[in-house]
Structure 1
């Protein structure tokens, strides 16, 4: 697939996708963004911008309910193109965090399927996803200290929200690698599955998410993102407003009727 096929109005980049491809399964209501620059799927500067545009385009695509970010080969991504940082302008570097936060801004559920190396920007974009599936081979790391740098695309900030300042300092300031098992135990990963079952687990999660109301899922994701830093009273107040709005939706009526009829609901997203 070419970038132009996604029909995004903000496309000003090359029509060729740099280091990844997009697969859309309209019947399965699923889109896969597949990193495919073997063997380590290094993420270039151009690729970061294209990934952001791709997430925005898929968010606007009515045929897609769930987005999966995955890779070819034994490793998700060993990180960014190190030399590219020296060549990039300050203005370009300033956009890095915004580009990598695209999965979080996307209104649809985003799953990261991580195996093997998941370093630097590979870890950061996974942290911006809603669900992270890992295997015993998964290695998470933010190794920027070894380059005389710090994470620059939201990695340390997102990680600190998940695991606290003590563990984050241990990971960031020592460039420590965290195994999939530990990531799961610390709450960084949603699930730990055998390496050979990662694709199957991803498929199952996609189908599970598709079974819910698209409107309710969009609402839940935005509410949780928006209230992450809010005082409890504000979060409860916003939750109440969202709940009230959903009560007038067709999906809520369908859900209630399906519950009483003892049948599977047929949600339409309205």
Structure 2
């Protein structure tokens, strides 16, 4: 009798255009786009990226996830031919797949250098932190193809920078530099290109020091209250605060503060 195989196992048996590295000692997982020179993201790769994020979210050895790329460009976008070949049902899942970093309960850092266009920009916008260099160029160039962003790019960008700037980027297929993205509040930090890796390492180590439980709670709260009224957001914040008060991590944090020592959180 043949054994049933979950579709995810088959889909992840050979990763398409990217690799995954887990450093258990540093509680870090790196998802690395690896289709040089421009790291074009295929349709199949989008499905796989979602599954990998979901898998790493369940991995107790991983605290922080880093999304980066090999070479001088993060990604010039998606496989154009793939859009014409994909079924309407498949195309309808594009935004869901690319939103995987946002749904992930753990902090996700996008490391962007060089071209970060189309879906490359969209998946970065779904991450919690975006580290850029002075070589970074962001763009949503779909208008040049007679299309619009289809994986959440225009919606997420508008939440961050407002309708005027988003129209400028989307309707003109305009490129914005890493420095401008930082000035607009899209990028978390902008550094010299040769400092991008060290800035990433520093952010990973900083995030590891906090309570995993408090970080998961903060991410979920902020994501879910983005569209809420101020009254609703404050109410939900209060409920989350109340639940954390009974956690071991909160007790450890308070005791460490009074003892003037570093806290040792365990995520409970």
TM-score over 0.5 (shorter chain): yes
Out of 225, 243, 246, the residue aligned to residue 245 of structure 1 is: 243
Point out where structure 1 has 5 or more consecutive residues left out of the alignment.
Answer: 1-6
Residue by residue, what CA displacement relative to the aligned partner does 1:244-269 show, whole Å, maximum 9, x if unpaired? 00000000000000000000000000
**TM-score under structure 1 length normalisation:** 0.96
Out of 197, 200, 206, the residue aligned to residue 195 of structure 2 is: 197
CA distance in 2, matches of 1:124, 1:33: 16
Aligned ranges 1:190-229 → 2 under 5 Å: 190-229=188-227
Out of 17, 29, 45, the residue aligned to residue 31 of structure 1 is: 29
Residue in structure 1 matched with residue 178 of structure 2 by the alignment: 180
Q: Does 1:94 align with 2:100?
A: no
Residue by residue, what CA displacement relative to the aligned partner does 1:102-161 show, whole Å, maximum 9, x if unpaired? 000000000000000000000000000000000110000000000000000000000000
CA distance in 2, matches of 1:250, 1:155: 38
Residue in structure 2 matched with residue 147 of structure 1 by the alignment: 145
Out of 232, 236, 258, the residue aligned to residue 256 of structure 2 is: 258
CA distance in 2, matches of 1:264, 1:67: 23
CA distance in 1, matches of 2:6, 2:225: 29
Residue by residue, what CA displacement relative to the aligned partner does 1:202-229 show, whole Å, maximum 9, x if unpaired? 0000000000000000000000000000
- The two structures, once aligned, show a CA RMSD in angstroms of 1.1
Residue by residue, what CA displacement relative to the aligned partner does 1:66-102 show, whole Å, maximum 9, x if unpaired? 0000000000000000000000000000000000000
**TM-score under structure 2 length normalisation:** 0.97
CA distance in 1, matches of 2:249, 2:148: 45
Point out where structure 2 has 5 or more consecutive residues left out of the alignment.
Answer: none
CA distance in 1, matches of 2:78, 2:267: 37
Residue in structure 2 matched with residue 45 of structure 1 by the alignment: 43
Question: Shift in Å at residue 52 of structure 1?
Answer: 0.2
3-state secondary structure, aligned to 1:236: helix
Residue in structure 1 matched with residue 107 of structure 2 by the alignment: 109
Number of equivalenced pairs: 264
Q: Stretches of 4+ moved more than 6 A in 1?
A: none
Residue in structure 2 matched with residue 119 of structure 1 by the alignment: 117
Residue in structure 2 matched with residue 230 of structure 1 by the alignment: 228
